[in-house]
Structure 1
C-alpha cells in the first residue's frame, strides 16, 4: 500500500512534534516534514509531491483559510484537512469553500482524524463531531431563494455537508442508498457542478448550508 506523503503545518513546533508522534504508527501515512508558516510549505510543495496536509488556521504569515486556495493552485490533488481551535461557523465553511476536505478541532480523537482522512480519500467532506454540531446550526443570514430545492433535497444537502455517506443518509431518512444517490446526482445537476466537493462549495456560497 502506498503511504500518503503527509506534511503538518502549525505555528507551534510542539504541536507539530506531538502530531508526528501521534501519527508515527499509522501504517498509511509517511510524515515528511512539519512547517510553522505558510510560505515554507508553499516552497516545499512546489518541488515535492504531498498527498495530505494537516493545516492550522492561525499562522504567522498567511491565514490557513487563504493557504487552502494557494495549496490547491499548486497541487490540486493534495488533500487538505484543517486542525484548528477556531469554532466560528463562517471560518469552517470558508475553508471548505477554499478547497479543504475536512475540518477538525484540535481536541478531536485520533479515531476521528483517521475517519476524516479515509473519508477525504473517497472524495467526501469530513468533520469531527463537534464541527458537525457547529455547521448544523441554521445560518443566520442563509437564504434558499437562489435555487429551488425540494424539502428532501435540502435535507440531503445538509447531511452531505456533514460528511455523511449515502448509506448513512439513507438510514437516517429511511431511504434506500440508491434513492439518496439519485437525489445527490440531481443536486449536482441543479447546481451545475461536477462533484460533491463543488456542490458543497456552491451551497456555502449561496447560503444554503
Structure 2
C-alpha cells in the first residue's frame, strides 16, 4: 500500500518536529515536512500533491478553519485533520464544515491520531474522545429550546432575514420604525444572540426561516 504523503502545519516549529518524530515510524505515512504558515503550505500544494495535512487552528497568517477551505479548493482529495488546543464547539464545527475530516486536541494519544488518520482515509469524519464530548454537549441556544414567537415577530423575523431595513419593514407592515426596532430587540433577546447576523443564523438552525 502506498504511503500517505503528509505535511504538518503548526506555528510552533517544536510541535512540527515533535509530530515528525512521533510519526516517523508509522508504516502508512511519509512525512514530507512541516510548514509554519498557511501561505507556505498553499505554495507547496500548487506543485505537489498531498494526501494528508495535520493542521493547527492558530497560524500567523490565516486561521486553520479558513485554510481548510483553501486546501480543499486547491486539492479536493487532500484529507485534513485538525490538531489544536482550541476546545470551542463553534471552531470544531466550522473546521468540519470547511472540509476537515477530523478534529483532535493536542493532548490526544498516538492511538487516537492513528485511528483518526485511518478513518479520514476511508472518507469518514473522526474526533478524539475529548472532542466528541465537547460536540455532544448541547450549546446554549439548544438548551433554551426553540423560542416562542408571536405572529408579528415571525413576520418581522422573515423580513429581517430577507435583508429589509426597519424603515422598509415598517412601511410594509404599517407600523412605526420604532415598533419594528422594539420587535427586533425582542427577537435578539429571545434567541440569546448579539446581533442580526447571529439572529438569522440561530433562526435558520432552529428551522424557523
CA displacement, residues 137-158 of structure 1 (integer Å, 9 cap, x when unaligned): 113224998xxxxxxxxxxxxx
* Matching of residues 68-147 of structure 1 within 5 Å: 68-142=68-142
For 2:24, the equivalent position in structure 1 comes to: 24
TM-score (norm 1): 0.68
> What residue number does 2:59 align with?
59
Structure 1 runs (4+) deviating above 6 angstroms are: none
Deviation track 1:69-107 (CA, whole Å, cap 9, x = no partner) reads 000000001000000000000000000000000000000
Structure ID, larger Rg? 2
Tell me how many residue pairs correspond in the alignment.
149
Match of 2:180 in 1: none
Shift of residue 33, structure 1, vs aligned partner: 1.2
Aligned residue number for residue 167 of structure 1: none
Whether the 8 Å contact between 1:139 and 1:207 is mirrored in structure 2 is no
Q: How far apart are 1:206 and its partner, in Å?
A: 3.7
1:81 touches 1:102 (CA, 8 Å); kept in 2? Answer: yes
Higher RCO (Cα < 8 Å, 6 or more apart): 1
The answer to whether structure 1 residue 39 and structure 2 residue 52 are counterparts is no
1:53–1:78: 8 Å Cα contact kept in structure 2?
Answer: yes
Which runs of 5 or more residues in structure 2 are unaligned?
147-203
The CA distance in 2 between the partners of 1:93 and 1:13, in whole Å, is 26
Q: CA deviation at 1:122?
A: 1.3
Cα RMSD, aligned residues only: 1.8
